Amino acid sequence: MPTRARAQDTLEYFERNLDAYLSDLRQLVEIESPTHDQQGIKRASLWLQTQFAGLGQLRRFDTDAGPVLRLFRRGSGPRVLLLAHYDTVHPVGSWSRLWREEKGKIYGPGVYDMKAGLLFALWALRYLSYSGQEHPNLEILLTPDEEVGSRSSRIFIEDAARGADYALVLEPPTGSGDLKVHRKGVGWYVLKVHGRAAHQGVEPEKGVNAIVEASRQVLRIVEAQDLEKGTTLGPNVVKGGTTGNVVADYAEVLVDMRAWTLDEAERVDSFMRGLRPLQKGARLELEGGLNRPPMEPTPESLRLFELARGVARDLGFDSRPGKVGGGSDGNFTANLGVPTLDGLGALGAGAHQKSEHIVKDALPPRLALLAELLTRLTRDA
C-alpha cells in the first residue's frame, strides 16, 4: 500500500476514536498532579498504570518525586524511546473548571503541557494492537518531575537512552505546529552573598552590605550574556536583608541561564564559578549549574525529522525544523548522542498559564503522525 494511503487509514482510526481519546484525556486532566503534590502524583501514576496494563511489560520505580513508569513492548528493528511526563505546574484548586471546551479548544491544567501528548503514547500502542502493523522495539518512560528539572528521573532517562536508537519526545510542537530539533540548554544558579550586619544609624561603616554586593554582581552577570548567540542570563529572583535599620548581612540571587550550544553553556558556567567579591569583607557562594545540556541538531536527528516530515505531508500538513528556548527531557537523550525528535505532542498554546489549551481538530492528525512514524521507523530507518 502506498505510504499516503496507509497514513490516511491511520488518520481515519484516530478520527473514529477521538471521543474515546478525549474521554481518557479528561480523566487524566481532572487528576490534578502538580510536581510536589504527592497525592496527585500518586493518583495520576495509578491511573496511568491501569491504562497501560496489558500493552507491554510495565515496571514502576518509586523515587522521591513519585513513580517513574517504564513500559517495554517488543517489536522488530530499531529501539525507540518515547518520553513524556505527567507532572504539571498549576497548584491544586487554581482552576475553577478542570475541563472546558470552547470554540474548538480544550482548556485545563496540564492539558497542553503535556497530558494530551502523554496519551499519544497510550493510543499509539492501542493503534498498533488494533492494526497489527510491525513496530520497533519500544520503551515508554513516564516521569513525575520534568517541570522541576527531572532531578529524580534523569537517571532513568539516561539509562533508557543508552539502549535506544531513537528518542521521540511527546512535548507539544511549536506554536506554528513545527517539530522541534533544537532546544536551548538550561542552567540554574543561586548566588549567595554573605556580608556583615551593623546598625544602619549608629555604625554603618562596620557593616558589609550584601544587597549592595549582590546588585554589583547582578550587573556583572548580565554583561556575560551574548544575545547575538542567544545566550541569556536572567537574575530573576533576589532576596536579602532583615529590616530597614540593619545593614544587610545576606542576599541571594536566582539566575536562569539559557544557551543554544554546549560551548556557550560551558563558557557561562566557567564565568559564574569565577565570580569574586567586589567589596572588602564580602563572601560569595555559588550553587547550581547546567541542568539540561542543549539539544543540538545532528545529521542523524535531522534525518529523523525528515522522515517525520514525510509522514506529516502524507497526513495533509507540513512541519519545519523548529527551535525553542525551553528545555525538555529530550535534552538529556540528545546529549548522549541519541537522534532525538521533540514536539510530537498536541497542538495548542498557553503552557503554564490559565490560557493553557489544545486544539481539538488537530488531535487526529497529530496522533496519526506518531503512530505512523513508529511503523515507518521499522521499515524505513
Residue 380 is predicted with a pLDDT of 67
pLDDT tens digits along 63-105: 999 999 999 999 999 999 999 999 999 999 999 999 999 999 9
d(CA 86, CA 93): 17
Judge whether residue 381 has pLDDT over 90: no
pLDDT tens digits along 338-376: 999 999 999 999 999 999 999 999 999 999 999 999 999
Domains of the chain with CATH codes: 3-184+294-380 (3.40.630.10), 185-292 (3.30.70.360)
Pairing type for strands 166-169 and 79-85 reads parallel
pLDDT tens digits along 223-249: 999 999 999 999 999 999 999 999 999
C-alpha triplet 358, 5, 175: angle, nearest 5°:
20
The residues, any chain, with a CB within 8 Å of residue 75's CB and separated by 6 or more, are 134, 135, 136, 137, 138, 378
d(CA 80, CA 94): 37
d(CA 106, CA 360): 7
d(CA 321, CA 340): 12
Other beta carbons within 10 angstroms of residue 201's beta carbon come to: 8
pTM of the model: 0.93
Q: Could you tell me how many helices (H) and strands (E) the chain has, helices first?
A: 10, 16
Segment 301-308 shows an average pLDDT of 98
Q: Give me the helices (H) in the chain, please.
A: 3-16, 18-29, 38-52, 116-131, 154-162, 210-223, 262-273, 299-314, 330-335, 363-380
C-alpha cell at 128: 498498533
